[in-house]
Chains A and B, each alone.
Chain A
Amino acid sequence: MSEYINIFFIILRRDLMLAFRNKAEFVNPLMFFIIVIVLFPLAFGSDSALLKQLTSGIIWVTALLATTLSLETIFRSDFEDGSIEQFTLSRYPLTLLVSAKILAHWITFGLPLIAISLFTGFILSLPNQTIVALCITLALGTPVLSLIGAITVALTIGLRGGMLLSLLILPLTMPVLIFSMLAIQNATIGQPISAEIYFLAGILVLAMTLAPIATAAALRIRLS
């Protein structure tokens, strides 16, 4: 067992190290996230009532788009330099190694994304309870995005055209968006949001359990 924990952390550390040495890869999607959010006040005027209603939705949709951008690179270099072959043929389950890679992706992308959303929420003067709901839904939702994204990236790896990836990921993430927006709307009008939170947590557990298995299977198919 400790052997498995050990290899998990070695792969996690490897991926984090690679991410910090090649910062553009994860900083660019985050910059994209910030810039797109900033575009909306410019388009609608910063004090319009319409904007206030839309802000949390804008943040969530932009988060989805930015995730799609950031996910593209999760397996690409490993596929090109033969690391995936070595992972697949190692004595450890590919599912475990893939989980470590997905966690590394979430740490370098999901976590900063939540922090930035908190910050932009304040700048765009959202009410406090809305900001709290936004952060909770993002904390539960972004890991789901990384997990579901990993499956589709594994399926499309080596194929040309990044558009296909977006077309596959975005429909699959709709349930997360729906429950998150419901939670945020309810929080804004002072209603309890536990039901939506439980649903999101349920989706997260489901994705955590199944997505690594599906990703590993997809990678095996792509290699053969």
Chain B
Amino acid sequence: MSQFKVIQLECIRRDNILFQGLNFSLEDGGLLQIDGVNGSGKSSLLQMCSGLIQVSEGEITWNGENIIDCRYQFQSDISYFGHSNGVKAGLTAIENMIVMHALAGNSSRINYSAILEQIGLTGMEDVLSSRMSAGQKRRLGLARLFMSKAKLWLLDEPFNALDKQGKAVIERVIVQHCSAGGIVIFATHQTMEIDGYPLQHIHLGNEQ
């Protein structure tokens, strides 16, 4: 049983308090959507949860331990997907996936073509990602979710630049991951079309 907990978290950016006294807790199978207007601190919250930004006030714990104190354990348990795709323009789809796979610390053999097929990039194994469209690059970046062994996924606007079909694929993976006991926190202002899975909500910003 894993537990991700945020206690009395506060976020200050450029002398503005974005949010204050934020509490939530997620356990195996937890699915949390963060929404809010632009600039309400969605990305900052996810970056804090991943440990990229230091927490000034409040605490974030993973299995009861502060994420800063168990950094490497925590980092091998998370998969973070930010605004930028983490896809190298000078590498082909397969080469990018080899690096992602290695960074995920997953030593099992993987069928790269099958993953490309799942994310709708069939037959693009040897295409340089600089030749891909914005949506295709986003899909390639999201391929790391298919290779990850991580328990906790932190996804920042995963549906950006994706078409309807791409969005459906990612929604399916997210639900699959949660059903298998994973935890997903994602930020988006799009409506999720997930039927039959309990979805928690956090709304940031003043506008109700």
Cross-chain contact of B50 among A77, A80, A89 (Cβ < 8 A) = A89
Q: Which of A11-56 contact B (CB under 8 A)?
A: 11, 14, 17-18, 21-22
Cross-chain contact of A83 among B50, B86, B98, B104 (Cβ < 8 A) = B86
Q: Which of B55-101 contact A (CB under 8 A)?
A: 72, 75-76, 78, 80, 82-91, 95, 98-100
Given known A-B contacts A10-B98, A89-B80, A90-B75, A81 and B105 have beta carbons under 8 A apart: no
Given known A-B contacts A83-B86, A91-B76, A224-B52, A17 and B103 have beta carbons under 8 A apart: no
Q: Which of A55-101 contact B (CB under 8 A)?
A: 77, 80-83, 85-93
A168 to chain B, nearest CB (A): 24
- Please indicate the chain B residues that have their CB under 8 angstroms from the CB of A17 in the complex: 90-91, 95
Chain A residue with Cβ nearest B96 = A14
Assembly CA distance A223 to B54 (angstroms): 10
Report yes or no: B102 in contact with A85, Cβ–Cβ below 8 A.
no
Main secondary structure of the interface of B (DSSP, over half): loop
Report yes or no: B90 in contact with A90, Cβ–Cβ below 8 A.
no
Report yes or no: B103 in contact with A92, Cβ–Cβ below 8 A.
yes
- Please indicate the chain B residues that have their CB under 8 angstroms from the CB of A82 in the complex: 82-87, 141
Report yes or no: A91 in contact with B72, Cβ–Cβ below 8 A.
yes
- Please indicate the chain A residues that have their CB under 8 angstroms from the CB of B144 in the complex: 86
Cross-chain contact of A11 among B54, B75, B99 (Cβ < 8 A) = B99
Cross-chain contact of A224 among B54, B98, B100 (Cβ < 8 A) = B54
Interface size on A, residues (CB 8 A): 26
Chain A residue with Cβ nearest B76 = A91
A172 is an interface residue with CB less than 8 A from chain B = no
Chain A residue with Cβ nearest B84 = A82
Chain A residue with Cβ nearest B85 = A82
Assembly CA distance A96 to B104 (angstroms): 15
A97 to chain B, nearest CB (A): 8
- Please indicate the chain B residues that have their CB under 8 angstroms from the CB of A191 in the complex: none
Give the most central of B50, B75, B85, B90: most A CB within 10 Å: B90
Assembly CA distance A14 to B98 (angstroms): 9
A100 to chain B, nearest CB (A): 11
Assembly CA distance A177 to B10 (angstroms): 49
- Please indicate the chain A residues that have their CB under 8 angstroms from the CB of B105 in the complex: 3, 90-92
- Please indicate the chain A residues that have their CB under 8 angstroms from the CB of B82 in the complex: 82, 85
- Please indicate the chain A residues that have their CB under 8 angstroms from the CB of B36 in the complex: none
A6 is an interface residue with CB less than 8 A from chain B = yes
- Please indicate the chain B residues that have their CB under 8 angstroms from the CB of A85 in the complex: 52, 80, 82, 84, 86
Assembly CA distance A10 to B90 (angstroms): 15
Residues of A within 8 A of B (CB): 3, 6-7, 10-11, 14, 17-18, 21-22, 77, 80-83, 85-93, 223-224
Residues of B within 8 A of A (CB): 50-54, 72, 75-76, 78, 80, 82-91, 95, 98-100, 102-105, 107, 141, 144
Apart from A85-B52, A89-B52, 10 more pairs, CB < 8 Å: A10-B102, A22-B90, A81-B88, A82-B87, A85-B84, A89-B51, A91-B103, A92-B105, A223-B53, A224-B53
The 7 nearest A-B residue pairs measured at CB? A82-B84, A91-B76, A82-B86, A90-B103, A86-B86, A91-B105, A10-B102
21 A–B contacts from the bound complex (CB under 8 Å): A3-B105, A7-B102, A10-B98, A10-B102, A14-B88, A14-B91, A18-B90, A18-B91, A77-B89, A81-B85, A81-B86, A81-B87, A82-B83, A82-B141, A86-B80, A87-B103, A88-B52, A89-B52, A90-B104, A90-B105, A92-B105
